[in-house]
Amino acid sequence: MSKIGIGVLSYAHGHVNAYSAEIKGFEDAELISVWDDNLERGKANADNFGAAFKPHLEDVLDDPAIELVIIASETNKHADLTVAACAAGKNVILQKPMALSMADCDRIIEAVDRNGVWFSLAFQMRFDPANIRMKQLIDDGSVGRVGVLRRRHCIPVLFSEAFCTGPSKWHIDPEANMGMWMDDASHATDFMYWMLGEPVSVVAEIDNILTHVAADDTGCALYRFRNGELGILLNSSVTWAGENTTEIYGDHGVVIQNYGDGPALTIAPPPGAVAVKYYDSQAPERGWQDQGIPIPAGHGVRIQAVASNLIKAYKAGKPTVTAREGKISTGMILGAYRAAREGRRVELPL
């Protein structure tokens, strides 16, 4: 069986290091070459993962041995690199968020369509067993009609001097990444879209609350969905610890998830902790029903699962998150920014 030839375009986003480490052990795929506009970063990672470093982008894109590229550059470079990769006939895995503007999302969609390539975004929350179980409980009617879905998705990175001054500092550059709400809340907007469909409006507050090192450090958005559901998204880059991650309240049942984001996994859960539990209003005597989902050892477990799941999706010809879906989650982020900036409800899609 021939292996899928993979090229990496930029190691700016740290998640691609985990993908590359996993790919080294795959029997059906191999990392062939690396390009990075940061030569030192690119060479170091190519050596680390046993790939060839290519100083020119076309050296990767013109190589017939490469059929799939992983793009993990700074966010403001996503559209240009994706358009170039698609034009070269390469299939694409793109790191989140998709882009910093709706126009760049449209450029990516047009390039994917025009060149007929396979494309998927790398949203690890879709591969998480807890999230998959919660979606099943919604889709199979166990929850009934959803009234409220609340998701807390937090990290502590803006408290880290190493993050803010080291190789990851581009994350806090407004030109490269807009803001931390754009960078990190995009996981949760895709999660909400996956669970409930496309929202119709948003109101929000996004600002620097505890720090002033980035364009923003905390945001809370209230989305209204097509069937009337409310989606509450709390995203903060200045959260040391936590437990409760997701709450889903329906007219038939309730689902609670704990230990579902980085801060919740930095401290060992207490004995008997449950990842996902369900309450059935038709069987109250059963109380909270443990759904049997293991609590991961750390947030990195979810990131490590991306490569194998996306390679599987690629081989099946079925993207996990399409370019059009990526535009929806980006629009949810940009809509929240507009709502916070203008102090009003913003209709979606933008």
Specify the CATH number for the domain of residue 289.
3.30.360.10
Of 117, 139, 159, the last residue of a domain is 117
Count of the separate structural domains present in the chain: 2
The whole-number pLDDT of residue 299 equals 84
Q: Is residue 260 part of a domain?
A: yes
The whole-number pLDDT of residue 226 equals 96
Q: Is residue 90 part of a domain?
A: yes
Count CB-CB contacts under 10 A for residue 157.
Answer: 22
Whether 165 and 246 share a structural domain: yes
Of 56, 84, 117, the last residue of a domain is 117
Q: Which residue range is the domain that position 285 belongs to?
A: 125-298+331-347
Q: Is residue 321 part of a domain?
A: no
Q: Is residue 314 part of a domain?
A: no
Q: Which regions in the chain score pLDDT beneath 50?
A: none
Whether 78 and 151 share a structural domain: no
The whole-number pLDDT of residue 1 equals 59
Whether 270 and 237 share a structural domain: yes
Of 117, 146, 164, the last residue of a domain is 117
Residues 299-321: tens digit of each pLDDT: 888 899 999 999 999 999 999 99
- Which spans in 140-229 are helix H? 161-165, 174-177, 180-196
Whether 144 and 205 share a structural domain: yes
Q: Is residue 308 part of a domain?
A: no
- Residue 147 phi/psi, 5° resolution? -100, -50
Whether 278 and 175 share a structural domain: yes
How far, in whole angstroms, is CA 303 from its chain's centroid?
9
Tokens of 256: 């609670």
| Domain harbouring 37, CATH code | 3.40.50.720
Can you give the pTM of this predicted structure? 0.97
Residues 6+ apart with CB under 8 A from 343: none
